[in-house]
Structure 1
Amino acid sequence: MDTFKDEIKNIKMLTRVIAVAVLVNFAILALLVGPDSVGFDPTYGPITAILNFVIAFCTSGVLMGIYVVFDVKKTFDLAHMHNVLFVAVCVQMIFALGSVFTYNSVFETVLDADTIGAVSGSITNTIFFLYGMYSYLLVTRDHKNLLSKRTQTVGKIFAGIIVPVSVLSLFGLIPAVVWGPLFILGGVILYPLFMIGIGDAIGNYTE
């Protein structure tokens, strides 16, 4: 019977899959779909939907690994945020393929793929906020210094960008010309780096 230690390499691999999937997804959205595209894209929509599903699915696995390695249950605020984020990621995973299923449905649907996509996308900023808060708590509660200094710095910068941007976006205070670059820096560059750093910490875990 495999133990958690036997599964470490698999959890570490998941962080790499997440990082690659995030970059590929962004490349498709930025270069092939285009920033001005609105609604479900029948050509690339299924690909980005599958990538989003993979990202969320792998993230749920990484969160389980974090729970063990960082002994999350011993810190109330981190444990609380961990549980909240895990649920949010599962919701994100469930919504990820909704537009594709709706678009390709052989039955009549009440809502079209564009509407389903808009509904699932409406929770994105909230999930970004949760990711930011979780990253901050994970770094600041890492009293055993399981994360490298570089990863701690990346996590703090990521949280420092994502949390304020998410809050300000709630009130429409972030101009589109500013939101885009901040999203790229936080979600496309720093987040994959942070996940890779977490994977390294999990990979170095010893019971």
Structure 2
Amino acid sequence: MLTSKEAQLGSLMARIAALGTIVVFAVQALLIGPDQVGYSTEYGAIVDIVSFVQTFGILFTISLTQKLFGDNNPYFRIVSAILFVAAVIQLTGSLSSTGNANSVFDSVLSADQANAVANNGQLVTFILYGIWALCLISADENNRVPSWGRMSGQGAAYLVIAVQIGALFGLIPLAAFVPVFILGGVVLFPVFVYGISIAFSGAGE
């Protein structure tokens, strides 16, 4: 059971994560675009900084949802723990490209290479986010997440899993990534995470 402080913190962090997700995916889709190869010198710093804040928020969200939804669902708790580790790796690499690009020291790796290394596990991490969303919805036996949030979460989960599996085998055309980023990253997943913030708001001792 969550304490009132944990519920307030979870609600705040989920909203930060939702807003950060919108900004990151909107910038990547509309300003950087799928044609950009490597680090964007124009918008890369914005994406990296917002990604750090967004991932920081999602880590709190993942951790606290384990207490909110995981009491009677060990599968959800374990999936959450796996995603938490993946998100920590995301967090630690989120500023590496900009830090590398602006470093006053000689670097072995270019900013593009640092960006590639930081995003090396992104495909699997995105699949884990999809699995986590489906597990959370299944674990939400009391329907704490509003119905619109649950539907958005299911849509985001199925979309991200399908797209990542398709990308794994080269089946997703480059032109599809902008609408996918907008639908999944600007609309569906943020709405789902905002729905989680509503669930936190109604919880707490």
- Normalising by structure 1, report the TM-score: 0.90
> Does the CA contact (< 8 Å) of 2:17 and 2:193 recur in 1?
yes
CA contact (8 A) 2:10 2:197 kept: yes
For 2:193, give the aligned amino acid: M
**Percent of pairs identical after alignment?**
34
Are positions 1:183 and 2:178 aligned together?
no
Matching of residue 202 in structure 1 with residue 200 in structure 2: yes
| 2:109 counterpart SS class | coil
Q: Deviations for 1:116-175, whole angstroms, at most 9, x for unmatched residues?
A: 101222322211100000001111122222222222111111111111211121111122
Which letter maps to 1:105? Answer: S
* Cα distance in 1 for residues equivalent to 2:202 and 2:14: 14
8 A contact 2:6–2:204 mirrored in 1:
no
- What CA deviation, in whole Å up to 9, does each residue of 1:25-58 have, x standing for no partner? 2333344334422222233211110111111111
1:54-69 counterparts in 2 under 5 A?
Answer: 54-69=53-68
Distance 2:158 2:24 in 1: 23
| Paired residues, number | 204
The answer to whether the 8 A contact 1:12-1:199 is kept is yes
Contact map agreement 2:134 2:153 (CA 8 A) in 1 = yes
Aligned amino acid, residue 187 of structure 1: G
Question: Which structure's relative contact order is higher, taking Cα pairs within 8 Å and 6+ residues apart?
Answer: 2
8 Å contact kept, 1:132–1:158: yes
- Partner SS for 1:74: coil
How far off is 1:82 after superposition? 0.5
| Matching residue of 2:74 | 76
| d(CA) in 2 for partners of 1:51, 1:170 | 27
Classify 1:47/1:27 alpha carbon distance in 2 versus 1 (closer, same or farther; 3 Å). Answer: same
Query: How much does 1:93 deviate?
Result: 0.4
| 1:157 equivalent in alignment to 2:170 | no
Q: Given that residues 34 and 177 in structure 2 are in contact (C-alpha distance below 8 angstroms), is that contact kept between their aligned partners in structure 1?
A: no
Q: How large is the Cα RMSD of the aligned pairs?
A: 1.8
Aligned residue identity for 1:95: G
What amino acid does structure 1 have at the position aligned with 2:171?
Answer: L
C-alpha distance in structure 1 between counterparts of 2:7 and 2:71, whole Å: 19
Shift of 1:73: 4.8
Give the TM-score normalised by structure 2.
0.91
CA distance in 1: counterparts of 2:150 and 2:106, whole angstroms: 49
